[in-house]
Amino acid sequence: MSDAPTVAIRVLHGPNLNLLGTREESIYGALTLAAIDARLAALAGELGVAVTASQHNGEGALVDAIQGCGGGAFAGILINPAAYTHTSVAIRDALLAVAVPAVEVHLSNVYAREAFRHHSTIADVVVGRLMGFGPDSYLLGLRALVGHLARGG
């Protein structure tokens, strides 16, 4: 019998997150996306799950990645749609279509920023939302998603 994780989680990063560590450090911090992914992988190991992470600047690519989570491919989705949070009906529809539990995360507290960032097109179709804790938002989101799945979510 294998000790390999059986629960697969998809981590999806939206546009411009590939620039973390160099863009607006006062808002997004100095950690790179690779460093965040490494922290997620380490935590996943502790939690006994597997994570597969990718970053997509295009809305269609994010939709394709979400669609690839269906059919039992992944048990859950941890998603930071970034700017598409506020505008993308396509991402919302993809999340509804695959019916995979998802948690929305953001590095910054969107409610402490510009008013247009206060709206999320996916807020009512995700299990929960975590924001404002910098890279820890991702870690807290992963813990919450794994807990939700463990409870049969």
Amino acid at 66: I
Q: Report residue 152 as tokens.
A: 């049969």
Dihedral sign (CA 23, 30, 39, 95) = negative
Check: CB of residue 12 under 8 Å from CB of residue 65.
yes
For 78-100, letters b (16+ CB in 10 Å) and e give bbbbbebbbebeebbebbeebeb
Cα gap 15→117, rounded to integer Å: 15
Amino acid at 100: V
**So which residues are the catalytic ones?**
28, 106
3-class DSSP state of 60 = helix
Strand partners, 49: 7
